[in-house]
């Protein structure tokens, strides 16, 4: 019996299959459980043509936009079980984490549906008026770690602002996004939201397509740079949300138990496969032993395994390449003198499982410290001098997030303002993101930011009208 799941694309309001497919692997079992269409060049063209044709009327009807964007939240909520099953099978999340992601995505749509947008603003009363206009067709490209949530970060503001969208999920995790596209076929007029799937080459075709007005891209630094180069000849608008190598700086008077709890949560949620996860921890020498021991205790207490079992806390690494990469970074660090305080081993015979790993005696110069590991291994780096820890934290091309840990708010802020990152958290890391809170990176971690009114404005241009125009 053929049990492979297949879900078609959504183009111009209709379902579209493809002769070519990409296989989707369940990282918990290593089995191919689904096939997604590999969009042909003509499918990509059709999606952009449909989006361009739908754009003028969609851009004019603010009432319809508000209603449809709100309806997405309802559709996601009503279909949460089915979407969570797909997400769990493709992304390796526990079922409860998949549901959390879907609830979060729904909250983004509700927020942007309700947002009071100043479409018109008086710049010079009676003489100059600014009007927020949509850009046109947005190419939205997402990675594999939060397929639905990161799609929501793009779709909700782009659609509410009056743009139409062609969305492409990662080839590792296309299924939940394809299903969402199908579920929304009755919510949006044909062509307003198109969902195509395929490999990186489909993403490339979207970034260079002549009908693309803006690319909203979330993914790796390497691909982000390629996207920036691809859009340059046509000066398309661009938002990039890229990788991070977030440092956590623990101050000398931090509470060891609470800090360890918070660091573990911020470093190992979804196995550390979070752009804004803690990826390296700077610890004063006096606290180094106790903090490492407490983190190791927490790591050893976690249940790793079957994502469908409600007692499981951590599932597998999402794909085999990532799994091999993280294990390679770990083994290189061990050869260079780092020590495993907890974890380090594979779990079971099948699936890309790795126990949450605390690495001590780590230092700059090891790839696990200098690069983005994006997996369940957290290096602890001892420091003597706080200024030197801050220097090391900044000695990177990344600049997404950072955190500072200690009891004194003034001192936390003093350190925070020295750190070159888009976000700094106090006594936590990657804390409950909200649709109203701007999120973006400095340096190679990104260009622009998402969320909130500013995020929505990045999907518009301000047209300036001169003359005696009433606001």
Write out the residues near ligand NAD by the rule CB under 6 A: 141-145, 150, 168, 170-171, 200, 203-204, 207, 218-220, 223, 226-227, 241-244, 275, 372, 374, 400, 441, 446
CB of 142 to ligand NAD, least distance (A): 6
Cα–Cα distance measured from residue 159 to residue 151, given in angstroms and rounded to the nearest whole number:
12
Please spell the DSSP secondary structure of 207-276, one letter per residue.
Answer: HH-TTEEEEEEES-HHHHHHHHHHHGGGT-EEEEE----EEEEE-TT--HHHHHHHHHHHHHGGGG--TT
Tell me whether residue 166 or residue 412 sits nearer to ligand NAD (CB atom). 166
DSSP code at position 185:
T
Least Cβ distance, residue 170 to ligand NAD (angstroms): 4
Q: How many residues are given for the chain?
A: 471
In the bound complex, which residue of the shown chain has the CB atom lying closest to ligand NAD? 203
| Cα gap 95→435, rounded to integer Å | 23
Nearest approach, Cβ of 42 to ligand NAD (angstroms)? 18
Query: Taking the complex as a whole, how short is the minimal distance between the CB of residue 171 and ligand NAD, in angstroms?
Result: 6
DSSP-derived secondary structure letter, 445: G
Q: Which is nearer to ligand NAD, 151 or 250 (CB)?
A: 151
Q: Smallest gap, in angstroms, from Cβ of residue 299 to ligand NAD?
A: 22
DSSP-assigned states of every residue in 278-340: EEEEEEEHHHHHHHHHHHHHHHHH--BS-TTSTT--B---SSHHHHHHHHHHHHHHHHTT-EE
CB of 250 to ligand NAD, least distance (A): 23
Closest CA to 6 of 183, 179, 180: 179
Q: Which of 35, 90, 101, 275 is catalytic?
A: 275
DSSP code, position 450: B
Q: How many helices (H) and strands (E) does the chain have?
A: 15, 21
Per the listing, tokens 């053929």 go with: 2
Which residue is catalytic, options 241, 294, 372, 450?
A: 241
Query: Tokens at residue 379, please?
Result: 């290096």
* CB closer to ligand NAD, 290 vs 448: 448
- Count other C-beta atoms under 10 Å from residue 86's C-beta: 26
Check if 241 is active-site. yes
User: Which of 144/288 has CB closer to ligand NAD?
Assistant: 144
If you write DSSP's letter for every residue of 21-56 in order, what string do you get? EEEEE-TTT--EEEEEE---HHHHHHHHHHHHHHHH
Comparing CB distances to ligand NAD, the nearer of 146 and 288 is: 146
Our CB check for ligand NAD shows the closer of 141 and 390 to be 141
Closest CB 75 distance from ligand NAD, rounded Å: 23
When the beta carbons of 406 and 446 are compared against ligand NAD, the nearer one is 446
Helix, strand and coil content of the chain, in percent to the nearest 5, comes to: 40, 25, 35
| Residue 285 annotated as catalytic | no
Among candidates 194, 351, 218, 357, which has minimal Cα distance to 274?
Answer: 218
- Which residues are annotated as catalytic? 241, 275
């Amino acid at each position: 019996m053929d049990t492979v799941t297949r879900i078609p694309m959504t183009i111009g309001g209709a379902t579209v299959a493809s002769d070519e497919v990409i296989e989707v692997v369940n990282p918990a079992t290593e089995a191919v459980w689904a096939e997604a269409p590999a969009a042909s060049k003509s499918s990509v063209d059709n999606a952009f043509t449909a989006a361009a044709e739908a754009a003028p009327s969609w851009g004019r009807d603010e009432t319809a936009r508000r209603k449809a964007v709100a309806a997405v939240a309802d559709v996601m909520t009503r279909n949460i079980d089915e979407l969570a099953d797909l997400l769990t099978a493709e992304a390796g999340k526990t079922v409860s984490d998949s549901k959390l992601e879907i609830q979060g995505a729904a909250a983004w749509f509700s927020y942007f549906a309700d947002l009071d947008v100043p479409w018109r603003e008086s710049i010079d009363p009676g003489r100059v008026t600014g009007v927020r206009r949509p850009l046109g067709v947005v190419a939205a490209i997402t990675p594999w770690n939060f397929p639905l949530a990161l799609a929501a970060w793009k779709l909700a503001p782009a659609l509410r602002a009056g743009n139409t969208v062609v969305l492409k999920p990662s080839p590792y995790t296309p299924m939940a996004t394809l299903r969402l596209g199908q579920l929304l076929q009755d919510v949006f007029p044909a062509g307003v939201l198109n969902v195509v799937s395929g490999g990186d080459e489909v993403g490339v075709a979207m970034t260079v397509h002549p009908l693309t007005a803006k690319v909203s891209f979330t993914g790796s630094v390497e691909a982000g740079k390629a996207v920036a180069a691809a859009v340059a000849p046509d000066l398309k608008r661009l938002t990039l949300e890229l990788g991070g190598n977030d440092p956590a700086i623990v101050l000398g008077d931090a509470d060891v138990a609470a800090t360890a709890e918070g660091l573990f949560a911020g470093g190992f949620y979804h196995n550390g496969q979070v752009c804004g996860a803690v990826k390296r921890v700077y610890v004063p020498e006096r606290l180094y032993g106790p903090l490492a021991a407490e983190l190791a205790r927490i790591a050893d207490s976690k249940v790793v395994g079957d994502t469908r079992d409600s007692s499981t806390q951590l599932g597998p690494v999402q794909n085999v390449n990532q799994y091999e990469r993280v294990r390679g970074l770990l083994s290189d660090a061990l050869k260079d003198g780092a020590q495993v305080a907890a974890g380090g081993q594979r779990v079971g015979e099948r699936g890309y499982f790795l126990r949450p790993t605390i690495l001590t005696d780590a230092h700059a110069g090891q790839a696990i410290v200098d690069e983005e590991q994006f997996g369940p291994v957290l290096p602890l780096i001892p420091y003597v001098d706080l200024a030197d820890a801050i220097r090391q934290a900044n000695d990177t091309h990344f600049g997404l997030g950072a955190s500072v840990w200690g009891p004194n708010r003034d001192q936390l802020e003093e350190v925070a303002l020295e750190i070159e990152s888009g976000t700094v958290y106090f006594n936590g890391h990657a804390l409950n993101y909200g649709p109203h809170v701007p999120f973006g990176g400095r340096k190679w971690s990104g260009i622009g930011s998402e969320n909130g009114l500013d995020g929505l404005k990045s999907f518009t241009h301000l047209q300036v009208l001169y003359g005696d125009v009433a606001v």
